[in-house]
């Protein structure tokens, strides 16, 4: 009805005005005295007595605490998790990358090798300055050696620093995302709380059974 539209519209605005805000502060959130004391692990009175300067700052509204961004466990982030013991340097990931930004150089290893030993990785560079985090490399990896990471904060001033080398991958925090790795989801692994240091704990996705392998490589030949 003409004439009622505007007041009704303002009622909606009023209702939304009274709703809690959905805005997320990033990277820091302003806190008052109570929040600052909580972040320091004390109760407000202790905080007032022990850290008067900080409590004054908090009362003035200047104290901040870092925010943990809500992410899902499948988040395709940029700190790739890599289990070097599993990698056979097969270069499937490099072939599957739509942008061709993974560089792999391998050297022959021992003759009667264990899993992950027959070829040695010499170079494993990912130029994440051009990476689009599509995850196709992770999908292609037949040995579950490469996983997407969950972090997203990797801004640098120089493009060259965005090339992740083998050493970077070895040292990176092992917080694999469960993207294309249903075994993590089955285990209930939470990449924001735990890490996986040993590749034995990481499990395997769709590993063919021994019968399947025999059928494929022996019986059908």
Partner 1 sequence: MAIRTQPVTVNLGPQHPSTHGVFRMRVMFDGEEIVDVEPVFGYLHRGSEKLAEERTYTQIVTLTDRMDYVSSMLNNQAYILAVEKLAGIEPSPRGVWLRMIASELQRIASHLVATGFLLQDLGALGTPLIYAMRERENILDMFEMLCGARITNSYLRPGGVFMDAPSEFWPALDRGLNDIVNTIDELETYLSGNEIVFSRTKGTAVLPKELLINASITGPMLRASGVDWDLRHRAPYDYYDRISFERKLHTASDNYARYWVRVQEARESVKIIRQCIEQIEPGEVRPSFDDVPRLIRPPVGDAYAAIEGSKGELGFYLVSDGGIAPYRMHVRASSLINLTLLRDMLIGGQFGDLFVTFGSVDLNMGEVDR
The residue ranges that bind ligand SF4 (CB under 6 A) are: 87-93, 97, 99, 101-102, 104, 126, 131-137, 140-141, 143, 145-146
DSSP state, 201? G
Q: Which of 30, 31, 28 has the alpha carbon at shortest distance from 44? A: 31
- Applying CB under 8 A, among 84, 85, 125, 139 the residue interacting with partner 1 is 139
CA 166 – CA 107 distance, rounded (Å): 14
Angle between helices 33-40 and 52-59 (to 10 degrees): 140
In the complex, minimum distance from the CB of residue 114 to partner 1, in angstroms, rounded to a whole number = 26
209 binds partner 1 (CB under 8 A): no
Q: Give the three-state DSSP class for 148.
A: strand
From residue 167 to residue 196, what is the string marking binding to partner 1 with x (rule CB under 8 A)?
----------xxxx-x--x-----------
User: Residue 4: which of ligand SF4, partner 1, none does it interact with, CB under 5 to 8 A by kind?
Assistant: partner 1
Q: Which stretch binds partner 1 (CB under 8 A): 32-40, 111-119, 134-142, 159-167?
A: 134-142
Residue 46's φ and ψ, nearest 5 degrees, are -55, -45
Give the E-state strand segments of 67-212 in sequence order: 77-82, 102-108, 119-127, 146-149, 163-164
221 binds partner 1 (CB under 8 A): no
Q: Which of 90, 102, 172, 188 has the alpha carbon at shortest distance from 137? A: 102
Interacting residues with partner 1 (CB under 8 A)? 1-6, 8-9, 11-13, 15-16, 22, 70-76, 96, 98, 132-136, 139-140, 148, 177-180, 182, 185
């Amino acid at each position: 009805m003409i004439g009622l539209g505007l007041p009704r519209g303002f009622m909606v605005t009023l209702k939304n005005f009274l709703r809690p805000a959905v805005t997320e502060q990033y990277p820091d959130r302003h806190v008052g005295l109570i929040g600052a004391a909580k972040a320091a692990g004390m109760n407000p009175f202790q905080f007032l007595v022990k850290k008067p300067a900080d409590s004054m700052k908090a009362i003035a509204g200047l104290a901040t605490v870092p925010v943990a961004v809500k992410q899902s466990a499948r988040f395709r982030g940029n700190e790739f998790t890599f289990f070097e013991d599993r990698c056979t340097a097969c270069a499937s990931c490099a072939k599957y990358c739509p942008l061709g930004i993974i560089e792999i150089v391998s050297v022959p290893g021992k003759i009667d090798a264990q899993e992950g030993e027959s070829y040695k990785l010499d170079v494993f560079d990912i130029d994440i300055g051009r990476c689009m985090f599509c995850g196709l490399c992770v999908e292609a990896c037949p040995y579950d050696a490469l996983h997407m990471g969950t972090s997203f904060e990797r801004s640098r001033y120089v493009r060259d620093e965005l090339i992740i080398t083998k050493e970077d991958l070895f040292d990176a925090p092992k917080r694999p995302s469960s993207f294309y790795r249903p075994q993590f989801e089955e285990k209930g692994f939470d990449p924001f709380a735990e890490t996986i240091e040993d590749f034995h704990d990481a499990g395997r996705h769709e590993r063919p059974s021994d019968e399947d392998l025999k059928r494929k490589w022996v019986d059908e030949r």
